[in-house]
Copies of this chain bind each other. A is one copy, B any other.
Amino acid sequence: MQAPLKIAVAGAGLVGSLLAIYLKRAGHTVHVFDRSPDIRNVNFSGRSINLALSQRGWRALDEVGLGDEIRNIAIPMDKRAIHMADNSLNYQYYGKDGESIYSLSRGGLNRKMVSLAEAEGVEFFFETRIWDVNLQTATLYTGETERGAWSELQYDMVFGADGAFSRIRHRMQRQNMFNYSQNFLNTGYKELNIPANADGTHKLDTNSFHIWPRGAFMLIAMPNVDGSFTCTLFMPFEGENSFESLKDKQTLEAFFAQHFPSTQDVIPNLVEDFFKNPTSSLVTMKCYPWVFEDKVALIGDACHAIVPFYGHGMNAGFEDITILSQMMEQYGNDWATILSEYQKSRKPNADAIAELSYRNFMEMSVDTANPDFHLRKKIEKWFSERHPDKWLPLYSRVTFSHRPYAEALAIGDRQKAIMDEVMKLDGITDNWDKPVTEQHILRLLEQDTLTT
């Protein structure tokens, strides 16, 4: 237990709610503010991508005993189901036997998290807009409108868990020496839906992450507990095969019939959903520093918003909480050190998962449709099972381990260089699981160690 403080958390999203629970358990008074209505009272849909909870996320939940509650509303996915353009279907397992990522609807998880936090004694203030913060005094300014009357709320500390467009960060951004970048992709996304069968079962394999990889665009589908799938179409805003080009019912239906024929029977409301749901954009946001003295700290998307292609936005945010909590253990009531060590530890890893996530669009949308890629994955899996001490595949290191993201990025790059060499071996297609290949990889690994 720390000396009790009065702490405000901006943002009642996933990271804000879980952080509030951690802070409450550490002995603090915790107030959570959100500009939106209580998510438990509103319909939440139309612009979300399902979440893929993996090891890092589970650890943060299990640490405070919430994992089992969440497991009840999560569906394990142990593989990619790759729907090829010729209508054939390939499966590609994510990890070793039983290793899965878990599909969760954002709305469902967020409702549960808010209720859990409330049960702990966290106080929520919904429909309360924070417009500004005084960094020196941890004072929040709230009000109906940006230019109207504001109220002052005084705290000992403020956490900004208010997402990619954080108001807390907005104030920090105006300081000298604050580094900041936001970069939008030319690719956007739109939510679609595969409803459940009449008997409540799933129309596609339940325990798969479904991908229709088509190069510059792709469709994905992730299962929900009610038997439906949340689908997401990723494609460029402009140009050939773009959101702009799908202007009317006829063009849209022809496009889906040509590129996603296997979806025709399972997405009944394609036209209605497509034109009703918004087209959302994707941004990578980086900044530094994340904290101001012992008063204010950013966490989650507010300091490292990433694109969703590795499914690690929430996992990285939850891992922020794990690390922050470790620093609280280590440094007691010395909040200046806690916050400073927290940001130093997290920044390189946030940058690394941003890079990995950006790259993974190509893996999902292009590589998964490529036979060479499948061979690489097979070789990696085979070799890593024989030499688990020598080779942990990149995906596993990111998703099924707690090793730092920055390490995953660096080792992943070296593994890729080695696999590039391996793929040049004569007859690799036939000899992929032969001693000659094994010896070659071992030799390359040894050289690699020598030069690093």
* Interface residues of A, Cβ cutoff 8 Å to B: 147, 176-184, 281
Contacts and interface: CB of A to CB of B under 8 A. Distances in A.
Nearest to A146: B147
Q: Which 5 A-B pairs have the closest CB atoms?
A: A181-B181, A177-B184, A179-B183, A180-B182, A176-B281
A184 B180 CA distance: 9
Nearest to A165: B174
A189 to B, nearest CB: 13
A46 to B, nearest CB: 17
Nearest to A285: B180
Chain A at the B interface: mostly helix, strand, loop or mixed? strand
Contacts of A184: 176-179
In the complex this chain forms, how many copies of it are found?
2
Contacts of A183: 179, 181
Given A176-B184, A179-B182, A179-B184, 13 more contacts: A147-B147, A176-B281, A177-B184, A177-B281, A178-B182, A178-B184, A179-B183, A180-B180, A180-B181, A180-B182, A181-B181, A181-B182, A181-B183
Nearest to A149: B147
Contacts of A178: 182, 184
Most chain B CB atoms below 10 A, which of A177, A179, A180: A177
Nearest to A183: B179
A427 to B, nearest CB: 32
Contacts of A181: 180-183
A178 B183 CA distance: 7
15 contacts: A147-B147, A176-B184, A176-B281, A177-B184, A178-B182, A178-B184, A179-B182, A179-B183, A179-B184, A180-B180, A180-B181, A180-B182, A181-B181, A181-B182, A181-B183
